[in-house]
Amino acid sequence: MEAASSRHPIWKDHSPSRAPTEAGGLKVSASKLTLQTALLAVCLAAAGRAEATNASDPALHAKIQYCTDCHQPSGQGYLGATPIPRLAGQQSEYFKNQLQAFIDRRRVNFFMFKVAHSLSPEMLTALADHFKDLNPKPLGGAPAELVEAGKKIFAEGVPAANVPSCSTCHGPEAKGNGQFPRLAGQLYPYIIKVLTNWDKERGQGGPEHPDTSAIMKPIAHNLNESQIEAVAAYLSDLE
């Protein structure tokens, strides 16, 4: 390569005598640039995939630890003054979609935006897969006398209020499906908080940033307080 360079010094590429072949030279240079760009893209993609596919990856373990500081070691959630939701057993697709919603500001939560916006797509997938495989017992604590009424609402809906069966989307065992979240074992006060304050919890990006959770807006609005408490009680105790 050095000998070739000495026979054809770089400065000659810009001399008038090279003008007739300039177009050909540009084509060769463009081809080389395209090849180099493609190779770089492949390398970066491979590095990204490697980032979080290794279960023993220290970066992944650090992120899991950060999540469980609030959501608890088994992802079972936290029953405090402000309930922190259960992540364990959650559908991977839904899990990733919601973290992306925080990043896109379709869900507005300053703390969760700070947590999510630095995560790569590969790390989002790895975290979703980790929590999906967890299955701790529900924390429970809901009024037992509400469970039967909640079970009926979940299975049959409330036709008079134009509320369909919850099981239609969330499955007969409330374990979710793809973009539809698992509700089984979710915290009683958290379900109440979300359904009662739906407009503040979901779909905050406006018409320009539509959210798949928009389907729930009329359902949440059509449930009254006692119905919300009943269905929350039923779901919170499901394993």
Q: What single string gives the DSSP state of each residue in 72-112?
A: -TTS--B-SSS-B---TT--HHHHHHHHHHHHHTSS--HHH
Give the residue-averaged pLDDT of 189-193: 97
Query: For residue range 159-168, what is the model confidence (pLDDT) as tens digits?
Result: 999 999 999 9
Measured distance CA(14)–CA(138) in Å, rounded: 74
C-alpha 160/C-alpha 192 separation (Å) is: 21
Q: Which residue type occupies 43?
A: C
The structural architecture, per CATH, of the domain 58-236 is Orthogonal Bundle (1.10)
Half-sphere exposure of 86 (CA within 13 A, CB side): 31
* Percent of the chain whose pLDDT exceeds 70: 73
Within 10 A of 115 (CB to CB), how many other CB atoms are there? 17
pLDDT tens-digit series, residues 131-157: 999 999 999 999 999 999 999 999 999
27 or 199, which is more confident?
A: 199
Question: Of the candidates 157, 179, 165, 154, which has an alpha carbon nearest to the alpha carbon of residue 237?
Answer: 154
Please compute the mean of the pLDDT values over residues 78-102 and round it to a whole number: 95
Nearest residue to 85 (alpha-carbon basis) of 212, 181, 222: 181
User: Is 44 a residue whose pLDDT tops 60?
Assistant: no
Q: Find all residues with CB under 8 Å of 103, minimum gap 6, and list them.
A: 113, 116, 117, 119
Checking if the pLDDT of 48 tops 60, the result is no
Helices 58-71 and 22-53 meet at what angle, rounded to 10?
50
What is the average pLDDT value for the chain, to the nearest integer?
82
pLDDT at 37: 44
For residue 7, pLDDT over 70 is answered with no
- Identify the three-state secondary structure at position 180: strand
pLDDT (0 to 100) of residue 205:
62
Q: At what angle do helices 121-132 and 92-104 cross, to 10 degrees?
A: 140
